[in-house]
Amino acid sequence: MRHCINCCIQLFPEDTQKQQVACQGGPHHSHQVCPTCKGENKILFRVDSRQMNLLAVLEVRTEGNENWGGFLRFKKGKRCSLVFGLIIMTLVMASYLLSGAHQELLISSPFHYGGFPNNPSLMDSENPSDMKEHHYQPSINNISYVKDYPSIKLIIDSIAARIEFTTRQLPDLQDLKRQELHMFSVIPNKFLPNSKSPCWYEEFSGRNTTDPYLTNSYVLYSKRFRSTFDALRKVFWGHLSHVHGKHFRLRCLPHFYIIGQPKCGTTDLYDRLRLHPEVKFSAIKEPHWWTRKRFGIVRLRDGLRDRYPVEDYLDLFDLAAHQIHQGLQAASAEEQSKMNKIIIGEASASTMWDNNAWTFFYDNSTDGEPPFLTQDFIHAFQPEAKLIVMLRDPVERLYSDYLYFASSNKSADDFHEKVTEALQLFENCMLDYSLRACVYNNTLNNAMPVRLQVGLYAVYLLDWLTVFNKEQFLILRLEDHASNVKYTMHRVFHFLNLGPLSEKQEALMTKSPASNTRRPEDRSLGPMWQITKKILQDFYGPFNTRLAQVLDDEAFAWKTT
């Protein structure tokens, strides 16, 4: 007589097609209950409130009486295999118990668990037609994510309880100079009075055959910039001022900076604003000099390269400097007036938030907080600089950022898991350090799988407001810009004191399609899960509330977007 002792462990794959393995026979797709076991002797393991992707069928065949004598009649190899399998299963379960993980052992024999609905991920608040529009199929994991929400909410509450917006201690000017001796030796204290942009003349000691961009790091490290500098090289000598046998070149810094944030529409704003005849940007849209290149950072994970000197950064504004120089040297008052209206801009979206390099260069920190920030150095040279910030709902910003920078395996599932991991890491930091220390913590920022910290706008803006006046900022919302481009651009024109445009110029600027929109392959992935959105809204809520208070505008709370 042959008997079958079976242990069925049910598999729930991540797609919506559910599979079971019976005690005997092949897969069955229509029911949750094993057709042979009839739901008996079935053990379903759940770990962290989610079904484990584990399938095992253990079959032991015996002959004769149902006693352990049959076991002894096994061949030695079979007995060893069986014992080894049982040991492995015991060790797996013990590891979860000893690690303190939350697990649940369900004996389903006395109970009947009904199958999931045809579309298990369809939440009450979602419309099936919306899913069809996005051409994606939600994962069954969305159900377990909803069950995980209470534990994640505890993490968010723990972070919120420790949020404290403190005023940072400003560094002394002499301390700044000691950190950047060369920069302070190149940039003067005063600029030409008849130029709207901060410009000055410096002596050029080379000859007419000298290549002024021979050692420029932007040229050396990136082939795509070489054509730009080839054009500048050809006209360089003709834009020098020659006085008493000496040669002088005009150097300029930006009049205004678009300082952030990434994935908030800064590229679109840049593309439209550069169509204004009075605006000239750097030769490269995002030099990232203040935050990265001056420290020798191209990609932080690749280590440090040679630091880009300030001269390399100033070279990027030579095209604009040539036109300003032409106006300063013009004979007619009309030509001078036209060229003197030119203002220079720079649009590195990292300027507002990225201070990751400080740990490598500034060792006199206080309780993990950076002693110097980017804005300290900009203010030291340009206390009257104008600053433009474009922001958007930080929840949507993070998802857009994830879709843009993630290289593979992008999905709403993956995004949710990365958000959860980042929140746990951020909470761990907040348990021991201040909010500012965690926001500027390079190790934490590199460890988090999504750039959670970039959406903490209030922290960055408050730190900028410690050195610049509020009137020097124009804070815009991407949501407003997308709905009314013309109105946004008029606000920018007024802020920068730009002249009016002709009807044709304005139409070209405001009616052109948006720049740097989401890629088609990313749009096909659909939106983030509603539960992920809820988690992020809870996390960013206190920071948005503080931002709305600082700007005296409830729209920046993003309570309805």
pLDDT-derived band at 367, boundaries 50, 70, 90: confident
Instruction: Confirm if 474 and 466 have CB atoms less than 8 A apart.
Output: no
523-548 core/surface letters (b: 16 or more CB in 10 A; e: else): eebbbbbbbbbebbbbbbbbbbbbbb
Per mean pLDDT, which range of 306-315, 332-341, 374-383 is the poorest? 332-341
Q: pLDDT tens across 178-192, in order?
A: 999 999 999 999 999
Cis peptide before 424 (omega within 30 of 0): no
pLDDT-derived band at 141, boundaries 50, 70, 90: low
User: pTM here?
Assistant: 0.74
How many angstroms separate the CA atoms of 8 and 23, rounded? 7
Tokens representing residue 68 in the block: 């352990």
How many angstroms separate the CA atoms of 3 and 67, rounded? 11
How many angstroms separate the CA atoms of 543 and 561, rounded? 16
Q: Is the pLDDT of residue 33 over 70?
A: no
Instruction: Confirm if 54 and 11 have CB atoms less than 8 A apart.
Output: yes
Label the pairing between strands 50-51 and 343-346. unpaired
**Beta strand spans in 404-496 (E):** 473-477
How many angstroms separate the CA atoms of 134 and 525, rounded? 7
Mean pLDDT score across all residues of the chain: 79
Q: pLDDT tens across 96-133, in order?
A: 444 444 333 332 322 232 332 333 333 333 333 333 33
302-339 core/surface letters (b: 16 or more CB in 10 A; e: else): eeeeebbbbbbbbbbbbbbbbbbbbbbeeeeeeebebb
Distances in Å between the Cα of 42 and the Cα atoms of 10, 345, 402, 460 are 8, 68, 40, 55
What is the average pLDDT across 326-330? 85
Q: Is the pLDDT of residue 503 over 60?
A: yes
How many angstroms separate the CA atoms of 374 and 497, rounded? 26
Percent of the chain with pLDDT over 90: 55
Instruction: Confirm if 484 and 504 have CB atoms less than 8 A apart.
Output: no
| SS3 of residue 299 by DSSP | coil
Distances in Å between the Cα of 337 and the Cα atoms of 158, 194, 199, 501 are 59, 10, 16, 17
